[in-house]
Amino acid sequence: MTAALKSCLNAAASEVSTWSLVFEYELPMEGGRRPDVIVFTGAAFVVVEFKSAPMINQGDIDQTMGYVRDLCDYHAGSADLAHFGILVLTGANPTFAKLVDETPVVGGSSLHQYLFSAHQEGTVDLDTWLNSPYRPLPTLVEAARRIFRDEPLPHIHTAIAAGIPETVELLGRIVDKTSDESSRSLAFVTGVPGSGKTLVGLRLVHERTSTHGRATFLSGNGPLVQVLQDALSSRVFVRDLHAFIKTYALNQRLSTPEEHIIVFDEAQRAWDARYMKEKKNVAKSEPDLLISIGERIEDWATMVGLIGEGQEIHSGEEAGIQQWRDAVSNSSNTKTWSIHCPPKLKDQFQGLSVSTHEELDLNVSLRSKRAEDLHQWVHLLLSGSLSLAHRQALKIRHAQYPLYVTRDIEEAKRYARQRFDEEPNHRSGLLASSHAKNLFKHGIDNGYQATSNMNVAKWYNAPTSDPKSSNALIQPVTEFSCQGLELDLPILCWGSDYRMQSESWNLTPINRRYKQDDPKALLRNAYRVLLTRGRDGLIIFVPNEPLMDATENALLAAGVQLLPTAAELIAV
């Protein structure tokens, strides 16, 4: 590495007199991630990554550009600089040079050609750059840990641009006003997948606890509760929604919660009265029961429902937001409840006291800055608008969010392991639809017994060395165990339950014991969840069987790229 740089820079010492180099810059809060060299070529920076392998590896290219992307996104001193990445293969022919996905891949003696072409007029003050803050967007689990440790969350510019602080501030004002007036309020926050709804809820609970006493975050998503409780080593901060309802609404000896502020996740997925009758023998919906709990809380109460659009995947979740209007309308104290919601939900609450706020609609994905347009691509893909999806995919790939498809599950695993070989805190994992019946014969056990008996907390939190970790790439989780959570790089195992046939999608959901109004809509939402879990990219494995050929073609038509296999790597 050093020899190649010395040779390159000594060849034109006068031209590089204003350049600077930083070796092994450790990206703060990134678990030891560090690009090999950052070269400041005037008013630009170039990440130069060195690999000893004598062949091109797609994972190495994506790793190099991942460093460039993260410096642009999260490092204040890099945001406005021109930026480039170069992969140097020290084991290749020294004169080798090739552009792959617009990234130069070169041998040692070819480095100078691309390094000097990256020069921009101007200079960078190295001391200022080194002291500039680096603020990566934390994962949901890490964000919860920081809140629980009473640490401030970073003010990432993507979150600020998306309006997260304004949403939290508005909800705080609603809480304060409700407390001052000894009244009751019900607020709803809508958002696309990964837009920060859960982050908003966690921050509100944390920030208002100091002024209004104990608050709680409830979720009916059992795996999410398990993962957060395991990460926090606490069962107080995050609690199970169904257990909360059982304790405070279904017990014969009704008790009243201490909390005045109750935030519940995925409000649109609350169980309807029909499902509650079958499951709990109570002919009331979960919204009915939560409203009744809120009315018993002494003096005042604020309830905040977080609504993920297109996230209904369970039986009993199809009634949607209308249940909440019915619950308030059926309340004996209708006049005591004030409703706060985004403008687009106003018509859902006709006849009630409603205030609308633009701040309560989060429409930008924060799961990854590169995935801001991912939810739109997923919508177009699942609806069959493949040409429009292809245009969206070009934007996503240009923003360094790779979308790959492969017919070989081992190649998918190889790429994931190689891509994050030097990043110990990464999180990859296998995802699969619970409806897919053809995956088991390909080594993907998405059956009920395997997925329901697994330790979900370990899957998300255990280190790579643990065979129960997601990084072991052994056991998949289904839509039920990944909703609301995230991975750096998921491998989605696409099943025959959602396959292309005669130029349109053929959906074959499993027949559930509980009657569903629209099983195909729930299956479509399951794939919507599965496709939007990734922070740094997505690999789709399509089983290598003739039945699935048209599905691979559909994904390619929608802009997904073929994942280069080991046999296709170019020896240099």
* 135 within domain boundaries: no
431 with 494, same domain: the answer is yes
Q: Rounded to whole angstroms, what are the CA distances from 35 to 46, 66, 109, 128, 536?
A: 10, 10, 20, 19, 17
The domain that holds 50 is classified in CATH as 3.40.1350
Of the CA atoms within 13 Å of residue 544, those in its CB half-sphere come to: 7
| Bridge partners (DSSP) listed for residue 177 | none
Per-residue pLDDT at 313: 38
315 with 355, same domain: the answer is yes
444 with 490, same domain: the answer is yes
pLDDT above 90 for 135: no
* 462 within domain boundaries: yes
Scanning the structure block, which residue is given the tokens 């493949």?
386
398 with 343, same domain: the answer is no
**Last residue in a domain, options 96, 130, 164:** 130
List Cβ neighbours of 151 (8 Å cut-off, separation of 6 or more): none
The total of structural domains in the chain comes to: 3
CA distance 203 to 59: 36
- Please answer whether residues 138 and 153 qualify as being in contact, where contact means their C-beta atoms are separated by less than 8 angstroms: yes
280 with 295, same domain: the answer is yes
pLDDT above 60 for 263: yes
CA distance 323 to 326: 5
pLDDT above 90 for 158: no
110 with 177, same domain: the answer is no
Per-residue pLDDT at 515: 63
pTM: 0.76
List Cβ neighbours of 465 (8 Å cut-off, separation of 6 or more): none
The domain that holds 158 is classified in CATH as 3.40.50
* 108 within domain boundaries: yes
In this structure, what are the phi and psi dihedrals at residue 279, rounded to the nearest 5 degrees? -85, -40
Per-residue pLDDT at 435: 94
327 with 215, same domain: the answer is yes
**C-alpha angle 327/328/329, rounded to 5°?**
90
Burial class (CB in 10 A: 0-12, 13-18, 19+), 155: exposed
Task: Mark out the alpha helices in 343-385 (DSSP H runs).
Answer: 374-383
Rounded to an integer, the average pLDDT of 20-30 is 86
298 with 390, same domain: the answer is no
List Cβ neighbours of 110 (8 Å cut-off, separation of 6 or more): 94, 95, 96, 97
Predicted confidence (pLDDT) per residue in 534-565, tens digit: 988 999 999 999 999 999 999 999 999 999 86
Predicted confidence (pLDDT) per residue in 47-86, tens digit: 999 998 778 888 888 899 889 988 988 888 998 899 999 9
Structural domain harbouring 551: 369-568
511 with 381, same domain: the answer is yes
List Cβ neighbours of 135 (8 Å cut-off, separation of 6 or more): 74, 76, 154, 155, 156, 157
pLDDT-derived band at 482, boundaries 50, 70, 90: confident
SS3 letters across 188-231: EEEECCCCCHHHHHHHHHHHHHHHHCCEEEEECCHHHHHHHHHH
408 with 349, same domain: the answer is no
253 with 344, same domain: the answer is yes
**Last residue in a domain, options 62, 95, 130:** 130
316 with 204, same domain: the answer is yes
| Bridge partners (DSSP) listed for residue 430 | 491
**C-alpha angle 336/332/301, rounded to 5°?**
40
**Last residue in a domain, options 130, 158, 179:** 130
